[in-house]
Amino acid sequence: MMQTNVRQSNPGGLVMSESNLQPIQLLDPASGTCTYLLFDPQSREAVIIDPVDEQLPRDLDALQTHGLKLVWSVETHAHADHITSAGRLVELTGARTAAPAGCGIGTAVVQLEHGDELRFGAETLRALHTPGHTAGSMSFLWRDHVFTGDTLLIDGCGRTDFQSGSASDLYRSLTRVLFALPDGTTVWPGHDYHGRSHSTIGHEKRHNARVAGRSEAGFVALMEGLSLPRPRRIDEAVPANLTSGLRHDAGGDALDAPRPAQGAAAGSYAGDISPELAWRWVQDGRAVLVDVRTDAEREWVGFVPEATPVAWKQWPGMAPNPDFDAQARAAANGGKPLLMLCRSGVRSIAAAQRATALGLEAYNILEGFEGDPDGQAHRGTLGGWRRRGLPWRQK
């Protein structure tokens, strides 16, 4: 069902010789945003550039279809026209986020400086600082392909009239950084509104309507004379993109008291507690937060500060943790209530029931760290510790 939105540069599929590796180009029709998937054919490790939140299922499908393991989610800049899915992709795939250091995307684990390289398998993506559309904007070079975000478009360039933009910076980024690449370098833009997929540095150098043959002063005058409408989604998109697309306005009410365990589980543990109330109890020193996820999940997805790790099961194999009882007793430290947190609130019930059987007072934290799966079995959209904006850290 997603295929209509997929533009692939080699329609015959992805069987390419190593010397002719091509990125997979995916289009979000609503925002005209091009997302790119690049991968190392041996290890199948992949990078995604500028993923769009509404296209998360499409991108997960593409990863699965091509047998890829996502290791990096990278932004060219903090977008004003769409919201990134980077934060959710990381939760779902175990990839890491990277973003230009000058963009203020504080949730990105790696803050890229000019010349930095990201590895995926045997391949390398190199960051080129190309300010102008925004002060932090970057382009990314992979082999003889350059991903230019909103810096260089086909026969155009990004606007420079908001978000720390500068027409003279953009002129220098275009003429001194991007046009310094070999003419044969393939240009993959962050947008195209006319159905074109790619260009080359040589072609843009000679024919780009905004910059070819123009002086810096001429370019600045042209850019300042454009009167473009304000992006429709800027007030929503920019703040969200500064946190990798994880919005802190997720719905759901915080309970002001724990709710007794429901249904068949009634009486088998002390009750269910909302993430917000659980955090308040921890802050007040009234209870102990117990993270029952595996070590690997915390490592991939994120840690909650002040939580005591007591795995219910352990990766690999999800074997029950033989030391659970002893560790749970130690965490209660003489009788404090235990608040059990897992991925989505399933293991935490089992762990709370076991702790209750040991004579401890134990609650299940609703929704877990990542929230319940949505209609497409993807997590991270329906509440959860992280979605609700409660404290967590990547490492």
- Return the number of the residue (104 or 373) whose C-beta is nearest Fe ion: 104
- Return the number of the residue (55 or 274) whose C-beta is nearest Fe ion: 55
Could you tell me which stretch among 58-66, 75-83, 95-103, 165-173 binds Fe ion (CB under 5 A)? 75-83
Smallest separation, CB 150 to Fe ion (Å): 4
Q: Distance between CA 335 and CA 342 in Å, rounded?
A: 21
Q: Distance between CA 340 and CA 309 in Å, rounded?
A: 10
Q: Indicate whether 204 belongs to the interface with Fe ion (CB under 5 A).
A: no
- Return the number of the residue (79 or 387) whose C-beta is nearest Fe ion: 79
Tell which residue, 17, 329, 7, 55, has the closest CA to residue 188: 7
> Residue 128: which H helix or E strand, with range?
strand 123-129
Smallest separation, CB 142 to Fe ion (Å): 20
Taking a C-beta distance cutoff of 8 angstroms, is the pair 148, 208 a contact?
no
Q: Distance between CA 200 and CA 188 in Å, rounded?
A: 8
- Return the number of the residue (150 or 204) whose C-beta is nearest Fe ion: 150
- Return the number of the residue (159 or 388) whose C-beta is nearest Fe ion: 159
- Return the number of the residue (48 or 352) whose C-beta is nearest Fe ion: 48
The 338-341 sheet, strands edge to edge: 271-273, 362-365, 338-341, 288-291, 308-309
Q: How many chain residues bind Fe ion (CB under 5 A)?
A: 2
- Return the number of the residue (160 or 274) whose C-beta is nearest Fe ion: 160
Q: Indicate whether 75 belongs to the interface with Fe ion (CB under 5 A).
A: no
Could you tell me which stretch among 71-79, 118-126, 201-209, 354-362 binds Fe ion (CB under 5 A)? 71-79
Contacts (CB under 5 A) with Fe ion, residues 331-360: none
Tell which residue, 192, 112, 181, 114, has the closest CA to residue 149: 192
Q: Indicate whether 28 belongs to the interface with Fe ion (CB under 5 A).
A: no
Interacting residue with Fe ion among 40, 75, 150, 192 (CB under 5 A): 150
Could you tell me which stretch among 15-23, 74-82, 112-120, 367-375 binds Fe ion (CB under 5 A)? 74-82
Taking a C-beta distance cutoff of 8 angstroms, is the pair 365, 345 a contact?
yes
Q: Indicate whether 59 belongs to the interface with Fe ion (CB under 5 A).
A: no
Smallest separation, CB 243 to Fe ion (Å): 17
Q: Distance between CA 245 and CA 89 in Å, rounded?
A: 10
Q: Indicate whether 50 belongs to the interface with Fe ion (CB under 5 A).
A: no
Smallest separation, CB 62 to Fe ion (Å): 22
Taking a C-beta distance cutoff of 8 angstroms, is the pair 43, 122 a contact?
yes
DSSP string over 219-284 = HHHHHHH--PPPPTTHHHHHHHHTTTT--S----PPPSS-BPPPGGGTTSSSEEE-HHHHHHHHHT
Q: Indicate whether 169 belongs to the interface with Fe ion (CB under 5 A).
A: no
Q: Distance between CA 23 and CA 35 in Å, rounded?
A: 10
- Return the number of the residue (58 or 79) whose C-beta is nearest Fe ion: 79
Taking a C-beta distance cutoff of 8 angstroms, is the pair 372, 278 a contact?
no
Residue nearest to Fe ion (CB): 150
Smallest separation, CB 102 to Fe ion (Å): 14
Q: Indicate whether 91 belongs to the interface with Fe ion (CB under 5 A).
A: no
- Return the number of the residue (77 or 88) whose C-beta is nearest Fe ion: 77
Taking a C-beta distance cutoff of 8 angstroms, is the pair 81, 233 a contact?
yes
Q: How far is CA 5 from CA 52, 58, 198, 199, 325, in A?
A: 13, 9, 16, 20, 51
Smallest separation, CB 149 to Fe ion (Å): 7
Burial class (CB in 10 A: 0-12, 13-18, 19+), 285: exposed
Could you tell me which stretch among 6-14, 38-46, 114-122, 144-152 binds Fe ion (CB under 5 A)? 144-152
Smallest separation, CB 121 to Fe ion (Å): 29
Name the site residues for Fe ion (rule: CB under 5 A). Answer: 79, 150
